[in-house]
Structure 1
Amino acid sequence: MRKTELHRTTAETDIVLEMDLDGDGTASEIATGVGFLDHMLTLFSRHSGIWMKLSCKGDTWVDDHHSTEDIGIAMGCAVARALGDKRGIRRYASLTLPMDESLILCAVDISGRGGCYPVLDFPSEKIGTFDTELVEEFLRAFAVNAGITLHVRRIAGSNSHHIAEGCFKALGRAMREAVSIDQRFRTAVPSTKGVL
C-alpha cells in the first residue's frame, strides 16, 4: 500500500495531508484556502490518480505564496515517502498535453535528485487574484521535495488559465505513469546503481 499521512506546521501554514498513490483521484478532498490552487490540485489528482485529502490554513491575508509553496513541499514529501525505495516503478514519463490553444510539454524522472526546470512565460501576471509566478513556485517545491527531475515548457498558449491548467494536468498524467508499477520489473529498483 503506497499511502502516507503528513502534518506540516510552520509560522505561516498548517497543512494536513493524506495521500494514496494508487487511488483513482475522483474523490479527493482539497481545501487549500486558495481557490485557484484548489482547482489546479483537483485536476492534478484526477489526472494522476493520486488520491488526496488536503487541508491548509495559511496566511492568505498576506498573499497566496506561503500556502502554495508549502503545499508543494508537503505534497513532494508525501510522494517521496509513499514511494519508499521506488522498487518496481516506471520512473520516467513524458508527454505533450493540449489544453485548448495551449500546449504543454512535461517530462518527469523520479531520480532522487530533485530539480525543476520550467519555461512557462505566462502572458499575464495574475489569474483572478492568483499570481501566475506561483505555478513555478509550486512546481519547484513539489519536484525538489519529491526527489523528481521535472521539466515543464509552454510550447504554445495565450491564455494564462489554460497554460496553468495544462501544467497541472500534464504533471498529473506524467506522475501517473512514472509512479506506476512495471509488472515486468516489479521487484527491481529502476537504476543501474541499485538505488534511487
Structure 2
Amino acid sequence: MKNNKLGLTINEVSENKVSLTRVTLESQIDVTIEDGQRHDYKIQTGIKFFNHMLTGIASRTCLNFDINYKATIAEPLDHVIVEDTGLTLGRAIREMLDARKEKGVNQRGFYTIAFDEALVGVTLAFDGRAYTFLRNEVPGMKLEYVEDILAINLKQFFEGFAQGAGCVVQIQFFAGDDSHHTWEATFKAFGEALRESLLPCPYRAGTTIGLKGTGMEGKL
C-alpha cells in the first residue's frame, strides 16, 4: 500500500510488526519495528550519535528496530536524514497503534528520566494532531553541537515523528549541563513514553483517544 503524499510504501502491518519504506528525491529509508524476541538492532543513518539515540529509543520501547537510510544525492544533509527518519518511524508506530486499536491500546505515555545531572520528561499523545513543544531550555541543550551532529537537527527528529505519527510531543527539560547527557535522557524518556503508549488497554477496545464520535463519551 502506497501513500503518495509522503512517499511511503507500507510493506507489512500487524499488531506486532510493521515494515515500510519512504522514498523521496533525497533519500530512501527502510524501517521495520517488531515486538518480539530481542535481536541485535540494525540501525544505520550515517550519523553516529543519532544511531546511538535511536538505539536508546529501541531499548526503552522494547521493540526491535531495523532502520536503514540510503542517500539518493551525493551529500545528504543531516537535517534531512534526521527528519525523514523521525517521520518514517512515526508512521510505523502509528500503523502499529492502529493495528492494536481493536483490542485496545493506551495511545498516551509519559516518562521522566535522569541521566547523571540531566533530568528530562516526555509526554506523548497520539490524538491525530501533530505538534512538538520543547520547554524550559537548560545549558545542555543550548550547546551547538552534540558529538557529530548539530543540536538543532536532533530537534527535527521529534518534529518529523509528530508529523508521521499524528502525535503531540511535549518535552520538558528540568536539568542538564552536559549536552550528551541531556539529549540521551531526552531520547530514552521518549522511548519509555512510547512503550507506555503501546501498552494494551482493553477498556479502550475499538476506540481512539479522541472521544468525540468514538462511543467513549461520558465514560471518562
TM over 0.5: yes
Aligned residue number for residue 49 of structure 1: 62
**Residue 26 of structure 1: how far off its partner (Å):** 5.1
2:201 counterpart of 1:182: yes
- Asked if structure 2 preserves the Cα contact closer than 8 Å seen for 1:101 and 1:158, the reply is yes
Within 5 A, what are the aligned runs for 1:114-129? 114-119=130-135, 121=137, 122-129=141-148
**Residue 112 of structure 1: how far off its partner (Å):** 1.3
Q: Distance in 2 between matches of 1:141 and 1:153?
A: 18
- Asked if structure 2 preserves the Cα contact closer than 8 Å seen for 1:18 and 1:53, the reply is yes
Q: Distance in 2 between matches of 1:108 and 1:24?
A: 25
The match for 1:110 among 84, 105, 126 is 126
2:33 counterpart of 1:33: no
Q: Distance in 2 between matches of 1:182 and 1:12?
A: 39
Amino acid at match of 1:19: I
CA spacing shift, 1:33–1:166, aligned 2, 3 Å: same
2:23 counterpart of 1:9: yes
Provide, for residues 67-111 of structure 1, a one-character-per-residue CA deviation record: whole Å limited to 9, x for no partner: 111101111111112222634111222122111100001111111
Aligned residue number for residue 179 of structure 2: 160
**Residue 12 of structure 1: how far off its partner (Å):** 1.5
| TM-score when normalising by structure 2 | 0.80
2:116 counterpart of 1:100: yes
- Asked if structure 1 preserves the Cα contact closer than 8 Å seen for 2:131 and 2:167, the reply is yes
The match for 1:171 among 177, 190, 200 is 190
Q: How many residues align?
A: 194
Amino acid at match of 2:187: F
Provide, for residues 9-38 of structure 1, a one-character-per-residue CA deviation record: whole Å limited to 9, x for no partner: 112111111112x24665321111111110
Q: Distance in 2 between matches of 1:19 and 1:192?
A: 28
- Asked if structure 1 preserves the Cα contact closer than 8 Å seen for 2:97 and 2:107, the reply is no
- Could you say what secondary structure the match of 2:154 adopts? helix
Gaps of 5+ in 2: 1-13, 216-220
Q: Percent identity among equivalent residues?
A: 27
**Residue 169 of structure 1: how far off its partner (Å):** 0.2
Q: Distance in 2 between matches of 1:66 and 1:145?
A: 14
Q: Distance in 2 between matches of 1:192 and 1:183?
A: 16
- Could you say what secondary structure the match of 1:57 adopts? strand
Within 5 A, what are the aligned runs for 1:69-108? 69-84=83-98, 86-87=101-102, 88-108=104-124
Provide, for residues 110-169 of structure 1, a one-character-per-residue CA deviation record: whole Å limited to 9, x for no partner: 111121111363131001220001121000110121011110021100011111101110
Amino acid at match of 1:109: A
- Could you say what secondary structure the match of 1:113 adopts? coil
Give structure 1 regions of 4+ aligned residues with deviation exceeding 6 angstroms.
Answer: none
Q: Distance in 2 between matches of 1:46 and 1:62?
A: 27
Deviates more, 1:157-166 or 1:182-191: 182-191
CA spacing shift, 1:64–1:105, aligned 2, 3 Å: same
Gaps of 5+ in 1: none
